[in-house]
Amino acid sequence: MKRAVAQLFGLCYISFATFLMLFSERLSPMVHESVKQHHARISAEIRRHNRLYYQLDRPEISDAEYDRLFRELQGLETKHPELASADSPVRQVGAPPAGKFSPVRHAVPMLSLRNARDLAEFREFDKSLRQTFLAGVDLLEYACEMKLDGVAVELSYEHGHLVRASTRGDGSVGEDITDNIRTLTGIPHQLKDYPPLLDVRGEVFIDLDDFQRLNRRQQEAGEKTFANPRNAAAGSLRQLDAAVTASRSLRMYCYGVGRGEGLDLPTQLAILKQLQDYGLPVNLTGTSLCLGPDQVAECFNHLLAQRETLGYEIDGMVVKVNDLELQQELGELNRRPRWAIALKFPPRQATTRVESVVLQVGRTGAITPVAHLEPVNISGVTVSRASLHNWDEIARLGLLSGDSVIVERAGDVIPDIVKVLHQRRSGAEQQIPFPEWCPECEAPVSKEENEVVPRCTNSSCPARTIERLKHFVSRGAMNIDGLGEKQLRQLNDLGKVHDCADLYQLGQPDLFAMERMGETLAGKLLQSIADSRTRPLSRLIFALGIRHVGEQTAKLLARSFANLEALAQAEPEELKQLHEIGDKVAESLCDFFRDPLQIDLLQRLRENGVDPQSEAVATQGGPLSGKSVVITGTLQRWSRREAEQRVEHLGGRCASSVSKKTAMVIAGDNAGSKLDKARALGIEILDEQRFAELVEGAQP
């Protein structure tokens, strides 16, 4: 009996096991299909974000959120290796070129770095290198460098001459941005000393102050603003007109080498020092040599503490094995070097709620929405406002007043809303209506067809008045120290100052009517106002706040006209003869100087002693008077800046690119595509000797 029961139990067990095996075989493909679909969804999402980030310079998510998606995909492919195809985003770098520029194939691929979210992950990286690949090594020597939040580029030099510049692209093929890179101050067109062939890698970025100025110009011009400094650098580099790039104040730091014929250097730090000796910009002050993970941790914490004091954005620290032979030995995996890692800073983001949206009016009438937030702490700073830029941005985000949002803070720049958490909506959220009336003076609002910003139509709007005064007295304009927004509002409320000309009629009794104004402070303020009468013409032109006229355009105009009256009388066609003046700027200038209110303002400024003369008065009638001149190649006798000063002394204006408006090209050694274009257009070309003769012939 027991035996029969045992046999029956055994048969049941076998049958149950067989059932489980068959069921699991049927279930397994179902689970696997779900994983495949999830993998495909994440892959497609990452490819979409790569295109937005690298090709369109229009990211929709933060770096931290992108890293989370990327790590999720890595985890799936580690657990299910059969999903890891050759075209997986895990094995790709960046994105293919967008097609705006000619493709450039990198002789040595430009790899991307894996990321470590914290010091614990870096210690795992260090442990893996030592135990898996470098058995017996107790402490590795690392070169630690600032991780700039910019755009990776490659500069190719042949016999010391810059022949090509390209973006990273997908790591193998990038875009030719040579003409744009040549406009960057600090990048030599000819190296001091050089190997026969050198491909230099570096990061192009924009300082935070220049980023803020750029966004103010974009906003006042009714053009799209940039979400962050990295976007601004990328968008500026990928302009079809090099003159636009030249106006954006980009910088570059070099950090490595692709090809380097004849280079035989032992370490990463030696490479950086050699690049500096060649005359290339290198951030050696932001680089440290560390022995082992403990020293790396100290360096990382020190850099994190410095982050807010820098004039540009960094988002972490790059840690590289310093020994170049070890780098070669370690090699790469999935198009990422095994010998380097990016140790990322904590994300400067937080979740909060939009309490309301307030409309601000700028000096040109531009109306900008600003989100007022529930206060939240981000990297030690309490944030209560965030920029929304315009209603196109509100629509892109799908933002409603009352929404929960993710806010990102970049340096001293006003924070941005990077994502709306739609799933948290309660139903009480409200639409953010497009304004029909000015929020300050209730005048009608207009919006031009090609602009994204609505504008107040009332030139006497109180908000516009204060913003115009703030701009006029600012450091880059007339630089009247001691007159801030608070003082200007008081003077306006007291009826003492309605426009910038009124500033020059202020006396001590007017200032004593202000709060907390004593004799000493009033004296300093009146002296600062008096000193501003002698500012250069370019500063006054910029201070007037003429739409589409920034600091660089103001300098160009000041070199081209003897005084403000001559500029005011210029016709549109005369203005458009200037190399960097197009239809939009010429129209804006003429509209400004034909406006009866502005004519009266300029007359009152002259009556109060504000009538500066051109910085180039002495050059009127010179041999290059009124001519647009392009300098290309390497000059032996002068630096580029010295040559430009001589052109200006002769009455000419230096431009960064060759066009039909160019009157002359001065060609030094190894002149490239600009010389070819000048020949094709039949433009007069001077070599250095003939230019020197022109300079010497003009001397008294």
- Based on the fold, state whether residues 131 and 259 are members of the same structural domain: yes
- Based on the fold, state whether residues 578 and 681 are members of the same structural domain: no
Residue 11 reports pLDDT greater than 60: no
Give the model confidence (pLDDT) of 90-103 as tens digits.
665 555 555 578 89
Alpha-carbon distance of 586 to 570, in angstroms, equals 9
Residue 66 reports pLDDT greater than 80: no
Where does the pLDDT of residue 420 fall: very low under 50, low under 70, confident under 90, or very high at 90 and above?
Answer: very high
| Average pLDDT of the segment spanning 36-42 | 80
In-domain check, residue 443: no
| Average pLDDT of the segment spanning 427-434 | 94
Which CATH number is 387's domain given? 2.40.50.140
Residue 377 has which token pair?
Answer: 């702490």
Give the model confidence (pLDDT) of 198-233 as tens digits.
999 999 999 888 888 888 778 777 777 787 788 889
Which CATH number is 47's domain given? 1.10.287.610
- Based on the fold, state whether residues 420 and 550 are members of the same structural domain: no
- Tally of structural domains, the chain: 5
In-domain check, residue 674: yes
- Based on the fold, state whether residues 83 and 137 are members of the same structural domain: no
Alpha-carbon distance of 242 to 563, in angstroms, equals 29
pLDDT of residue 25: 40
Where does the pLDDT of residue 618 fall: very low under 50, low under 70, confident under 90, or very high at 90 and above?
Answer: very low
Catalytic residue numbers read 147
Alpha-carbon distance of 139 to 3, in angstroms, equals 67
Among residues 405, 425, 445, which one ends one of the domains?
425
- Based on the fold, state whether residues 482 and 588 are members of the same structural domain: yes
pLDDT of residue 93: 55
| Average pLDDT of the segment spanning 430-449 | 92
Instruction: Give me the sign of the Cα torsion angle 563, 565, 568, 573.
Output: negative
Residue 17 reports pLDDT greater than 60: no
Report the Cα 340 to chain-centroid distance in Å.
25
Give the model confidence (pLDDT) of 472-511 as tens digits.
999 889 999 989 899 999 999 999 999 999 999 999 999 9
Residue 638 has which token pair?
Answer: 């002068």
Q: Supply the mean pLDDT for the chain.
A: 84
- Based on the fold, state whether residues 556 and 691 are members of the same structural domain: no
pLDDT of residue 595: 92
Do 405 and 427 contact (CB within 8 A), yes or no?
no
In-domain check, residue 456: no
Where does the pLDDT of residue 617 fall: very low under 50, low under 70, confident under 90, or very high at 90 and above?
Answer: very low
Which CATH number is 536's domain given? 1.10.150.20
- Based on the fold, state whether residues 260 and 173 are members of the same structural domain: yes
In-domain check, residue 180: yes
- Based on the fold, state whether residues 133 and 241 are members of the same structural domain: yes
In-domain check, residue 236: yes
In-domain check, residue 448: no
Residue 642 reports pLDDT greater than 80: no
Where does the pLDDT of residue 4 fall: very low under 50, low under 70, confident under 90, or very high at 90 and above?
Answer: very low
Alpha-carbon distance of 610 to 532, in angstroms, equals 8
Containing structural domain, residue 130: 103-344
pLDDT of residue 108: 92
pLDDT of residue 579: 61
In-domain check, residue 250: yes
Classify 593 as helix, strand or coil.
helix
Q: Going by C-beta distance under 8 Å and a sequence separation of 6 or more, which residues neighbour residue 234?
A: 57, 151
Residue 76 reports pLDDT greater than 70: yes
- Based on the fold, state whether residues 247 and 311 are members of the same structural domain: yes
In this predicted structure, which of 271-275, 445-449, 532-536 has the lowest mean pLDDT? 445-449
Give the model confidence (pLDDT) of 326-336 as tens digits.
999 888 877 78
- Based on the fold, state whether residues 413 and 529 are members of the same structural domain: no
Which CATH number is 641's domain given? 3.40.50.10190
In 504-616, alpha helices (H)? 508-512, 519-531, 537-543, 551-560, 564-568, 572-576, 583-594, 596-607
| Average pLDDT of the segment spanning 129-154 | 89
Looking at the whole model, is its pTM more than 0.85? Answer: no
Do 157 and 260 contact (CB within 8 A), yes or no?
no
- Based on the fold, state whether residues 141 and 283 are members of the same structural domain: yes
Which CATH number is 117's domain given? 3.30.470.30
In this predicted structure, which of 41-55, 376-390, 626-640, 656-670 has the lowest mean pLDDT? 41-55
pLDDT of residue 59: 63
In-domain check, residue 62: yes
Among residues 317, 344, 371, which one ends one of the domains?
344
Among residues 37, 67, 91, which one ends one of the domains?
91
Alpha-carbon distance of 294 to 119, in angstroms, equals 10
- Based on the fold, state whether residues 373 and 508 are members of the same structural domain: no
| Average pLDDT of the segment spanning 559-572 | 86
End-to-end CA distance of the chain: 130
